[in-house]
Amino acid sequence: MFIFKKHISRRTVIKGAGVTLALPFLEAMVPAATALAQTAANPKIRAGFFYIPHGAVQHDTKFGVEGDLWTPKGKGADFKLNKITASLEPFKKYVTSFGNLENNNGSGVHTRNPGTWLNCAQNTTTIDQIIARKVGQETAMPTLELASETNNQQAAGSGTATTLLSFRDANTALPAEYNTKKIFNELFGATTPKERVLNARESDSLLDMILERTKAFQAKLGPADRARMEEYLESVREIERRTGIIAATDISSMKIPERPVGVNDKFDEQVDLMFDLLAIAYQADITRVATYLMVAEGTNQTYNHVGVADSFHPISHHANEPERIAKVSKIQTWHMERFANFLQKMASTKDGDGTLLDHSVFMYGSNMGNSDKHSNWPIPTVIVGGGNGKMKRRGQHIEFAQRTPLANVLLTVLHKFGIEQEKISDSTGIISEL
């Protein structure tokens, strides 16, 4: 049920028949003559961590700097994005790029790379979980862990899978969900397995189950909020349509078959859906912290949609062959373009006195440098977003001394969230340029 007085609470939801619809930011959430900062609608900082496998084509091939397709040209604010990162151009003022980072704890091993990316150590708490302890307790989901595909390959002796980015503690890895139906249900569906099964059998649409309540709610809004609400509902409905969310299957079981309903055979569509689900989750403040493993380490995923029929992992061992490098860079460019599309959604979505991009810190990169060498230097890394005013010196490329610890970036991100931890793994200090 929704409650309406002189203004709407930021935590207002529309409920009915086991459905919970969180709301986007609306002007009605700010009482008249009240400063935004003094309300529950005051913008909150979000965090997102986006992982790609197999590194990037950089200057450590036999072609040197001339063959570098990732690293920006120039330093500081006077930098030019490279071929792979070119799609970030519309957001350049939000971008901070880092050069010469290293993470020895990845050890160049596919199965170890994801799980040591956000902690720079093995089987220790990752920074997404540290951040969630501070900012995630006010949302329905403290964190959201996503992946585009599954990969059951296990590291010898460690049990660390190639899709695990997030660790709550040394003994608790958080598996990433790759079934879009399950993700949609977690965001907007019922809270109990029994209700979920009932919904699946009796309705084709979760939104249809609360249609009348939604209309009644919208009728109380001003013109601008009605338009914003309508746009939001259309986005949710489109995602619901694409996921085929209420199928005649028992979705109460959390056992994941080898190829469950809800995983798109078209990989490009699967990735786009994941980004759209995440965008909605941020917009409705369902979560403020997320990890997304765009592709599993060691993946054999093919990229026919960009003209690369080769499996990603084998082709990533390019042996310095120009034709193979060109294919690898094509794949890496496509990954960045999907991320850029997501950034565009964040930049165009109002959130308080700015946009979601203004109020977020998004880290994109890999824990591998040169995939042909299985090296963990140089690690391709960018941070994008305004950080709710905390990223005051963004829009730059920082070229560090060779083999600067990635942990310095992680430590700095924690400080941006008000977590003044002194050290992470092999960190040597925060990055003062941020």
Q: What is the pLDDT of residues 17-40, one digit of tens each?
A: 677 888 888 888 876 555 565 555
The DSSP letter of residue 177 is B
pLDDT, average across residues 119-139 = 92
Q: Which of 25-29, 157-161, 239-243 is predicted least confidently?
A: 157-161
Tokens read off for 175: 């598996």
**Structural domains in the chain (count):** 1
pLDDT at 383: 98
pLDDT at 185: 82
Number of other residues whose CB lies within 10 A of the CB of residue 215: 9
Write the pLDDT tens digit of every residue in 302-316: 999 999 999 999 999
For residue 130, name the pLDDT band (cuts at 50, 70, 90): very high
How far lies 279's CA from each of 44, 86, 235, 286, 347, in Å? 15, 22, 10, 10, 11
Residue 325, by phi and psi: left (phi above 0), alpha (psi -120 to 50) or beta?
alpha
CA dihedral 306, 307, 311, 317 (to 10 degrees): -90
For residue 358, name the pLDDT band (cuts at 50, 70, 90): very high
399 domain residue, yes or no: yes
pLDDT at 253: 39
pLDDT at 403: 92
28 domain residue, yes or no: no
How far lies 199's CA from each of 192, 213, 355, in Å? 11, 17, 34
Q: For the chain, what is the mean pLDDT?
A: 85
pLDDT at 29: 83
If you compute the radius of gyration of the chain from its CA atoms, what whole number of angstroms results?
22
3 domain residue, yes or no: no
391 domain residue, yes or no: yes
- State the number of CA atoms in the 13 A half-sphere of 416 facing the CB: 33
For residue 113, name the pLDDT band (cuts at 50, 70, 90): confident
Q: What pairing do the DSSP bridges indicate for beta strands 95-102 and 381-384?
A: antiparallel
Paired residues of 144 in beta bridges: 290
pLDDT, average across residues 259-287 = 83
Q: Which residue has the higher pLDDT, 245 or 33?
A: 33
Tokens read off for 36: 């935004």
CA distance 54 to 335: 12
CA distance 307 to 295: 18
65 domain residue, yes or no: yes
pLDDT, average across residues 330-354 = 96
Its domain, for residue 365, covers 46-178+265-434
Domain CATH number, residue 138:
3.40.720
CA distance 4 to 12: 9
Q: Please check the confidence at residue 8 and state whether its pLDDT lies above 90.
A: no
426 domain residue, yes or no: yes
338 domain residue, yes or no: yes
Between the ranges 50-59, 240-249, 333-342, where is the mean pLDDT highest?
333-342
414 domain residue, yes or no: yes
pLDDT at 422: 95
Paired residues of 19 in beta bridges: 16
The DSSP letter of residue 176 is P
Q: Please check the confidence at residue 158 and state whether its pLDDT lies above 80.
A: no
Paired residues of 351 in beta bridges: 354
CA distance 411 to 423: 7
CA distance 108 to 195: 45
pLDDT at 387: 95
**Nearest CA among 408, 432, 361, 337 for reference residue 135:** 361
Q: Which of 108-117, 183-192, 400-409 is predicted least confidently?
A: 183-192
For residue 3, name the pLDDT band (cuts at 50, 70, 90): very low
Q: Which of 46-50, 255-259, 276-280, 289-293 is predicted least confidently?
A: 255-259
